[in-house]
Amino acid sequence: MNGKVLVFDSGMGGLTVAREIRAMAPGLSVDYAADSGFFPYGDKSDQALRERLPMIAKRLCEAAKPDVFVIACNTASTLALEEVRSALDIPVVGTVPAIKPAARLTRTGTIGLLATPGTVRRAYTAKLIDDFASQVRVIMHGSVELVRMAELIAAGEAVSLETFRSLQAPLFEAQGGDQIDTVVLACTHFPLVRGELAATVPHPVTFIDSGEAIARQTLHVIEGNAGSAVTESRVWLTSPPEQQTRLVEVSRRFGFHQAVYLKAE
Ligand code: DGL
């Protein structure tokens, strides 16, 4: 399969999605883009993100020239997928929190959803719960701190397990939280710390994320749109790479070797 995909997130989270895409279609050309100049998205206002996302998506696609744009970010996708689609003239694949599979999987009838505060308060998330999980109890918790910790862990820095225990504790301490048996990782950063989260849950749970589903959808879409010649795997940043040494290094480890600065302002 040929063609070129641009995988987009605020920071390192989308690398977990890029990894799934690459595993499924090794021949595909994949570039990565991180809106490092506006990171993190999870605590930004809806208005600020609505202004930012279509603009930055357009600029990135003009520069990277992909055949398909993948928003590998729940916070962005649940808010502005349609706005980004309207701004681009190529197919856009979004990220949907894995609420539907979680609702099918639960045996206790209670699922947890770990995300950013933005994703937790979205009408889009409420509608997903209404449509696919109305028969189960959904307990949500949003944390931008967990996003930051995921970036530190990905960069090989030390973060205590106690930190992960306390950052996810509100999910299990909420009313009915002791019944949670399935946790949706509704932020693409969180698979980076799946091990740390699994090691610090108060009782055993199954963690699920949407990485594989996004990859499958991306391949499905690109089948009909492939065209671009294969180029070197780049990572596009919206702040100077020399100020983003962690992100540049982690991207390199995920196979994105050439950092390019795209000035957004
Ligand atoms: N990775 C993003 C997500 O899936 C959000 C991280 C951020 O807060 O910037 O929601």
CA 201 to chain centre: 22
Q: Is 8 in the pocket of ligand 1 (CB under 6 A)?
A: no
Does 147 share its domain with 83? no
Looking at residue 4, its pLDDT comes to 93
Does 144 share its domain with 202? yes
Can you read off the two tokens belonging to residue 160? 């205590």
Write the Ramachandran bin of 208: left for phi over 0, alpha for psi from -120 to 50, otherwise beta: beta
Number of helices followed by number of strands (H, E) in the chain: 11, 10
The catalytic residue among 6, 68, 73, 248 is: 73
Q: Is 189 in the pocket of ligand 1 (CB under 6 A)?
A: yes
CB 17 within 8 A of CB 8: no
Looking at residue 229, its pLDDT comes to 56
Q: Is 118 in the pocket of ligand 1 (CB under 6 A)?
A: no
Does 48 share its domain with 127? no
Domain that holds residue 200: 99-209
Q: Is 187 in the pocket of ligand 1 (CB under 6 A)?
A: yes
Final residue before a domain boundary, out of 209, 225, 243:
209
Question: Over the chain (265 residues), what is each successive 10-residue block's mean pLDDT?
Answer: 91 98 92 98 97 98 96 98 98 97 98 98 98 98 98 98 98 98 98 98 98 97 70 91 97 96 87
Active site residue 61: no
244: CA distance to ligand 1 center in Å? 17
67: CA distance to ligand 1 center in Å? 23
Does 224 share its domain with 157? no
Q: Indicate the burial class of 206 (C-beta count within 10 angstroms; 0-12, 13-18, 19 or more).
A: middle
Looking at residue 52, its pLDDT comes to 98
Does 71 share its domain with 127? no
Can you read off the two tokens belonging to residue 93? 């694949």
The partner residues of 261 in beta bridges, in order of sequence, read: 237
Looking at residue 253, its pLDDT comes to 97
Does 34 share its domain with 112? no
Determine the atom of ligand 1 nearest the C-alpha atom of 11: 9
Final residue before a domain boundary, out of 193, 209, 225:
209
Looking at residue 182, its pLDDT comes to 98
Q: What is the pTM of this model?
A: 0.96
Does 162 share its domain with 113? yes
CB 93 within 8 A of CB 219: no
Does 91 share its domain with 220? yes
| Alpha carbons 90 and 75: distance in angstroms, whole number | 21
Does 186 share its domain with 223? no
Cα–Cα distances in angstroms (integers) from residue 33 to residues 155, 160, 209, in the given order: 17, 29, 20
Does 85 share its domain with 108? no
| Alpha carbons 240 and 265: distance in angstroms, whole number | 12
The catalytic residue among 56, 187, 215, 221 is: 187
Q: Is 4 in the pocket of ligand 1 (CB under 6 A)?
A: no
**Number of domains present in the structure of the chain:** 2
Final residue before a domain boundary, out of 189, 209, 229:
209
**CATH number, domain containing residue 187:** 3.40.50.1860
Cα–Cα distances in angstroms (integers) from residue 83 to residues 35, 117, 120, 260, in the given order: 17, 21, 20, 25
Does 89 share its domain with 117? no
The HSE-up count of residue 124 (CA atoms within 13 Å, CB side) is 19
Does 83 share its domain with 160? no
